[in-house]
């Protein structure tokens, strides 16, 4: 039997066991995916010791993603760019770390918009400069986009992000002051919210989308609620929208493949299952 885990602190709200449990059953695999609560002080030992407990690897979530980054032996290029690790596994005796939010965000965009969607997209606006923003920017930098603007409530964090991710990419990476957004939005063919604004219990992200290009796409990575106030406002303007749930589902794919040896499919049934869980919890 192959065992994997999700480790965090706290961990009881993670939906990863539901996702991986669905796939284990769907593919008839002899495996388990366990929820493990580990306090930060014990995380280093956990990472060193999970092999001896029979685990093939697992997901790492808040607050351990940066510590995992520093404690794995090898990292994927995506993890290097983001500076955080959310998926670990053993390969030829070596402890590897990846950041699958990068592939997860891009796979969901491709699945929602169709491959090649970026052909028409010159300018992207990313709101937020936290860990998720880094993953989103890193993913977008692999596409033939001209420039990405990053705007954040705390401008210095946007500057840090741009400085860290700019090198080695042909995509222009610039920052925008929050107050300057009315001048950026009319040029942005893709607008992505990576802040926690709009999440249940948080204030909405209030953006005036009336001057966004008619063909603009508005994506939100917040998925509780599934239709955030930003996505509702975008729909009201007649703009295309991409919700945040698909990123959560697609980011789980590479880990499952590494631990269980099967590339799982993000099916409408899986989406329905997680959606029902989100609705049920509200
Ligand atoms: N769909 C998915 O699979 C997925 C994956 C990862 C994350 N997420 C979601 O993405 C969101 C961000 O996650 P994260 O890991 O990047 O968090 P994080 O590192 O804590 O960053 C939070 C971001 O939100 C901004 N923010 C928070 N409160 C704000 C407010 N009142 N006004 C303006 N900006 C505010 C922060 O700005 P400051 O720098 O100014 O504080 C920062 O840019 C969360 O809601 C998370 O659930 C979704």
Which pLDDT tens digit goes with each residue over 43-71? 999 999 999 999 999 999 999 999 999 99
Tell how far the Cα of 166 is from the centroid of ligand 1, in angstroms.
Answer: 21
Q: Do 53 and 155 belong to one domain? A: no
Nearest by Cα to 259 from 25, 19, 7, 31: 31
Cis amide leading into 3 (omega within 30): no
Q: Read off the DSSP letter of residue 32.
A: E
Q: What is the pLDDT of residue 273?
A: 97
% of residues, the chain, pLDDT over 90: 97
Q: Are residues 142 and 239 in the same domain?
A: yes
Q: What is the CATH number of the domain that holds 220?
A: 3.40.50.720
Q: How many helices (H) and strands (E) does the chain have?
A: 12, 12
Nearest Cα neighbor of 194 from 274, 255, 140, 115 is 140
CA of 79 to the centre of ligand 1 (A): 18
65 is catalytic: yes
Q: Would you say residue 171 has pLDDT above 90?
A: yes
Torsions phi, psi for 223 (to 5 deg): -125, 5
Residue 111, pLDDT > 70, answer yes
CA of 19 to the centre of ligand 1 (A): 22
Distance of alpha carbon 59 from alpha carbon 82, whole angstroms: 16
| pLDDT of the residue at 280 | 87
Return the percentage of the chain with pLDDT > 70, whole number.
Answer: 100
Q: Which atom of ligand 1 is nearest to the CA of 247?
A: 3
H or E, element range at 218: strand 217-220
Residue from 65, 99, 100, 153 whose mutation best tests the ligand 1 pocket (most atoms within 8 A of CB): 153
User: 151, 184 in Cβ contact below 8 A?
Assistant: yes
Residues 181 and 118 in one domain: yes
- Phi and psi at residue 254, in whole multiples of 5°? -60, -35
At 281, the pLDDT band (50, 70, 90 cuts) reads confident
Same domain assignment for residues 9 and 72: yes
| Residue-wise pLDDT tens digits, 122-139 | 999 999 999 999 999 999
93 CA distance to ligand 1 centroid (A)? 35
How far apart, in whole angstroms, are the C-alpha atoms of residue 79 and residue 60? 13
Shared-domain flag, residues 54 and 17: yes
pLDDT at 104 over 70: yes
Residues 73 and 139 occupy one common structural domain: no
Q: How confident is the model at residue 241 (pLDDT cuts 50, 70, 90)?
A: very high
Instruction: Determine which residue's CA is closest to atom 31 belonging to ligand 1.
Output: 197
Structure confidence at residue 153 (pLDDT): 98
The answer to which of 19-23, 209-213, 261-265, 275-279 has the lowest mean pLDDT is 275-279
The answer to whether 41 and 98 are in contact (CB under 8 A) is no
Task: Round to whole Å and give the CA distance between 257 and 15.
Answer: 18
Please state, in angstroms and rounded to a whole number, the distance separating the CA atoms of residues 5 and 3: 7
Task: State the average pLDDT over residues 101-110.
Answer: 98
CA-wise closest residue to 189 among 149, 218, 209, 158 = 218
pLDDT at 282 over 70: no
Q: Looking at residues 107-122, what average pLDDT do you find?
A: 95
Closest atom, ligand 1, to C-alpha of 221: 1
Regarding whether 234 and 115 lie in a shared domain, the answer is yes
134 secondary structure, DSSP code: H
The CATH number covering residue 21 comes to 3.40.50.10860
**pLDDT on residue 211:** 97
Q: Determine the distance separating the centroid of ligand 1 and the alpha carbon of 25, expressed in angstroms.
A: 33
Looking at residue 230, its pLDDT comes to: 98
Q: Which of 161, 196, 266 to mutate to test the pocket of ligand 1 (most atoms within 8 A of CB)?
A: 196
Around ligand 1, the residues with Cβ closer than 6 Å are: 101, 128-133, 152-154, 157, 194-197, 199, 203, 221-223, 244, 247-248, 251
Domain count, the chain: 2
Domain that holds residue 10: 2-98+252-281
- One domain, residues 82 and 115: no
Q: Where are the alpha helices (DSSP H) in the chain?
A: 16-26, 40-49, 65-71, 77-82, 100-113, 131-140, 155-166, 181-184, 229-236, 245-251, 253-260, 268-281
* pLDDT tens track for 144-168: 999 999 999 999 999 999 999 999 8
Q: Are residues 83 and 114 in the same domain?
A: no
Catalytic residue among 3, 48, 65, 215: 65
């Amino acid at each position: 039997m192959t065992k994997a885990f999700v480790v965090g602190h706290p961990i009881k709200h993670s939906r990863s066991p539901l996702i991986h449990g669905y796939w284990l059953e769907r593919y008839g695999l002899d495996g388990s995916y366990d929820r493990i609560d580990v306090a930060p002080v014990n995380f280093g030992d956990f990472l060193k010791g999970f092999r001896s407990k029979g685990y093939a690897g697992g997901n790492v979530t808040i607050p351990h993603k940066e510590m995992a980054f520093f404690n794995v032996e090898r990292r994927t290029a995506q993890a290097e760019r983001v500076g955080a690790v959310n998926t670990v596994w053993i390969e030829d005796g070596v402890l590897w770390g990846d950041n699958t939010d990068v592939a997860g965000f891009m796979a969901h965009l491709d699945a929602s918009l169709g491959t090649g969607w970026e052909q028409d997209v010159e300018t992207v606006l990313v709101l937020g400069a936290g860990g998720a923003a880094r993953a989103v920017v890193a993913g977008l930098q692999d596409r033939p986009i001209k420039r990405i603007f990053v705007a954040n409530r705390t401008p210095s964090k946007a500057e840090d992000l741009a400085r860290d991710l700019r090198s080695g990419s042909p995509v222009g990476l610039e920052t925008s002051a929050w107050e300057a957004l009315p001048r950026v939005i009319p040029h942005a063919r893709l607008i992505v919210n990576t802040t926690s604004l709009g999440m249940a219990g948080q204030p909405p992200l209030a953006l005036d989308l009336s001057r966004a290009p008619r063909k603009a796409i508005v994506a939100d990575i917040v998925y509780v609620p599934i239709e955030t106030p930003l996505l509702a406002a975008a729909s009201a303007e007649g703009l295309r929208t991409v919700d945040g749930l698909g990123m959560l589902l697609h980011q789980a794919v590479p880990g499952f493949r590494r631990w269980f040896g099967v590339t799982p499919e993000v099916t409408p049934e899986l989406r329905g299952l997680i959606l029902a869980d989100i609705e049920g919890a509200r």
